[in-house]
Structure 1
Amino acid sequence: MSSDEPGCQAEACALQTCLNKNTYSPDKCNERVKQLYLCCQRFYKETDDKGESTACPMPRVVERWLKDHGGGAKSK
């Protein structure tokens, strides 16, 4: 991940662009949401859950979302 921008910022921006384009219809942006959460999972794994990014929810929220939506592997 780039050190000059917060972790997963590009994915968060892509999600925001999708939501703006689709008049805030999250169902049309499901793949972007998943990509953001997978990125956040990698980010937290790389930082031992100590990294901070305005683009990512807390680690336990990321893990729960991925568990509930059938994506990603456990980070620990």
Structure 2
Amino acid sequence: MSTLEKDVKFDPPCHPRACAIQACIQRNGYDESRCQKQVDALYECCNLFYQRNGDEASTVSCPKANLLRLKMRQRAQGQ
């Protein structure tokens, strides 16, 4: 089972990836720009969570589905 599979099945879903962001931010003096890899990993997990469970599903670790897609589009465009 891949790490993504494990994280999306975690309770709550994607929580290990959300914790990785917090740990990274703390390690880097609260400079979020140094933790983009962790943010991308969380969004990847959340995207899979919504694909499997529908846009009305929720988990404390992920933004709402429509906000997640907006954030992913913005990141893809370099904003």
Task: Give TM-score, length-normalised by structure 1.
Answer: 0.84
% of aligned pairs identical? 29
Q: Deviations over 1:31-76 (max 9, x none)?
A: 10111111111101100113211000110110001111118xxxxx
Tell me whether 1:43 sits opposite 2:65 in the alignment: no
CA distance in structure 1 between the partners assigned to 2:72 and 2:17 by the alignment: 16
CA distance in structure 2 between the partners assigned to 1:24 and 1:38 by the alignment: 22
Structure 2, unpaired ranges of 5+: 1-7
3-state SS, counterpart of residue 63 of structure 1: helix
Higher helix share: 2
Task: Give TM-score, length-normalised by structure 2.
Answer: 0.81
Structure 1, unpaired ranges of 5+: 72-76
- Give the number of aligned pairs: 70
- Which structure would you say has the larger RCO, counting Cα contacts within 8 Å and 6 or more residues apart? 1
Runs of 4+, deviation exceeding 4 Å: none
CA distance in structure 1 between the partners assigned to 2:23 and 2:45 by the alignment: 17
Q: What letter matches 1:27 in structure 2? A: S
Corresponding residue of 2:3: none
CA distance in structure 1 between the partners assigned to 2:12 and 2:18 by the alignment: 10
Alignment of 1:17-56 (within 5 A): 17-56=23-62
